Structure 1
């Protein structure tokens, strides 16, 4: 008759007195002809992506630009001040990449400029001629005092020598103005399309 209890373990508790207190010892007793079952691997919790790695929901170009405009007057009618270390009341860093992260609904406080340019889960490189509202122009080279990202809104005219854009810039804060970053040959600004941007 086979023993169905070969893989079952009987627990026996023994109580011993040590140093004036009771200590409970756990022992495992197996039948003489049984082999010990291998230990089950420890249970691990399912890892859930943190906000920092969560995929952003899709956002339309129009909604992104609407969100960009909110920081122009968010500080009691004035623009949100620029800061690389402070976080605005909505949870996003008050620098250029934090601002772009807010407009795209990325995790708080937002990726930095280098990650915006280099992470293919966030952006895809495009040609300057393919820029559409909500696309980005990013200079990811240099230091934290020279890197920058701006949000393309639209060409100022058919010559395509300048465009209107939103940006969060040092010494000023949120701005909406005409720029030509990335249009000159050899510019460090490159064009990118946010992955979660839809029409």
Structure 2
């Protein structure tokens, strides 16, 4: 073979090698392994419990609106005829936290000790609705604060007037405990409170 032919074959082999390397470098990487669909997403509550996102909501038994309100009333006198005292860390005899979201979780028959307010909003337990669509047993909650002391949730029990400027509600309030009170949270649309419907409400 001539010297010129040998040079041409050598150059062709070198070019093929460079191209092959280029393809290897630019080939898309294999997709990262995805967690199984059944894997539970967890979130840390304000009180330190680990909550399951979504899966716990699916497992929550159904509850009627009348049952939610009836269960809400029980904490008004559960403490030897007095309201259950408020606490973000203590649990009542039924295993639920004695704060606003623990109380709501009890009324909705969610797993004890109950998700926190952020969990009620984001973890599949509720869905956002318009304030005008509120029905007894629905929730009005504020969860967009970094401070647990500025987050809150109440149980809607019915409108107080035909203008829908205030409503009756059950809540677990700091320094007070369980109470039935008129509120206007969320009515003006500017205070961070929004209406939510529990997904396990049956009617």
- State the TM bucket, normalised to the shorter chain: 0.7 to 0.9
Conserved? CA contact 1:155–1:164, under 8 Å? yes
Partner of 2:144: 141
Partner of 2:158: 154
Partner of 2:45: none
TM superposition outliers: structure 1 runs of 4+ over 4 Å? 50-53
Partner of 1:149: helix, strand, or coil? Answer: strand
2:72 to 49, 59, 68: 68
Structure 1 residue 58 corresponds to structure 2 residue 62: yes
Partner of 2:121: 117
* Higher fraction of helix: 2
Q: Measure the CA separation in 2 of the matches of 1:89 and 1:134.
A: 23
Conserved? CA contact 2:51–2:115, under 8 Å? no
Partner of 1:145: helix, strand, or coil? Answer: helix
Please give the root-mean-square deviation of Cα atoms over the aligned residues, in Å.
Answer: 1.8
Q: Normalising by structure 2, report the TM-score.
A: 0.71
Structure 1 residue 102 corresponds to structure 2 residue 120: no
Shift, 1:183, TM fit: 0.5
Q: Normalising by structure 1, report the TM-score.
A: 0.73
Conserved? CA contact 1:140–1:148, under 8 Å? yes
Unaligned regions of 5+ residues in structure 2, if any? 1-38, 41-49
Partner of 1:128: 131
Shift, 1:185, TM fit: 3.0
Partner of 2:20: none
Q: How many residue pairs are counted as aligned between the two chains?
A: 151
